[in-house]
């Protein structure tokens, strides 16, 4: 049975490599727009499942991994900024605040049709950052492809005061503790 990561994210690929299992990657074509009235955790879980399903037809005998992340402060959602200007605005809004990063994981067994979905939230408390600190960070790290504009696996860790959570890899985008549990439930042997 093949193991497939339904993502082209370098961050997710690097995380999955930690499990030392052979895998392929495939690009899911999914619309990441939240549905009207959809809560951030539900958006992340729906998109993780949709990403796994989006590549399923190309992998008839596989365990397909989909993942998605939505960052929010109250009802305000922070997606991938795409530009330096938007990254700066996001970080200015989040400074001194606790932001929830909802990371969802889906594992689809295309042989049996079984779909497992799990959300792994992480509370991230940002330091009270100055505008200069934010600009320097964005210029050096260029976190334009990260929900919430903060790469905790890089220089972004300096923006944070704390990030309590059940799985430190969830904040980077692929919760490996939950993934290992889900893969074992599908009969995959892990160390």
Rounded to 5 degrees, φ, ψ at 25 are: -120, 150
Does the active-site annotation cover 68?
yes
- CB contact at 8 A, 3 and 63: yes
Catalytic-labelled residue, pool 31, 68, 132, 167: 68
pTM here is 0.92
- CB contact at 8 A, 7 and 168: no
Alpha-helical (H) ranges within the chain are 10-17, 40-56, 84-94, 131-141, 176-185
Alpha-helical (H) ranges within 62-166 are 84-94, 131-141
Ordered per-residue pLDDT tens for the chain, 191 residues: 999 999 999 989 999 999 999 999 999 999 989 999 999 999 999 999 999 999 999 999 999 999 999 999 988 999 889 999 999 999 999 999 999 999 999 999 999 999 999 999 999 999 999 999 999 999 999 999 888 898 888 899 999 999 988 898 999 999 999 999 999 999 999 98
Containing 102, the helix (H) or strand (E) segment is: strand 98-109
């Amino acid at each position: 049975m093949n193991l497939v990561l339904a993502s082209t994210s370098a961050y997710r690929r690097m995380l999955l490599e930690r499990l030392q299992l052979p895998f392929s990657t495939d690009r899911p074509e999914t619309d990441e727009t939240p549905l009207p009235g959809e809560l951030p955790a539900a958006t992340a879980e729906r998109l993780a499942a949709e990403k796994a399903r989006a590549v399923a037809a190309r992998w008839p005998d596989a365990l397909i991994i989909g993942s998605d992340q939505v960052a929010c402060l109250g009802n305000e959602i922070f997606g991938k900024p795409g530009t330096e200007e938007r990254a700066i605005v996001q970080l200015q809004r989040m400074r001194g605040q606790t932001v929830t990063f909802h990371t969802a994981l889906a594992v689809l067994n295309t042989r049996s049709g079984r779909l497992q979905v799990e959300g792994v939230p992480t509370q991230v408390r940002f330091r009270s950052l100055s505008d200069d600190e934010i600009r320097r960070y964005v210029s050096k790290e260029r976190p334009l492809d990260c929900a919430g504009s903060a790469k905790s696996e890089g220089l972004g860790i300096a923006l944070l005061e704390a990030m309590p959570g059940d799985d430190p890899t969830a904040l980077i985008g692929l919760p490996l503790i939950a993934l290992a549990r889900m893969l074992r439930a599908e009969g995959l042997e892990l160390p």
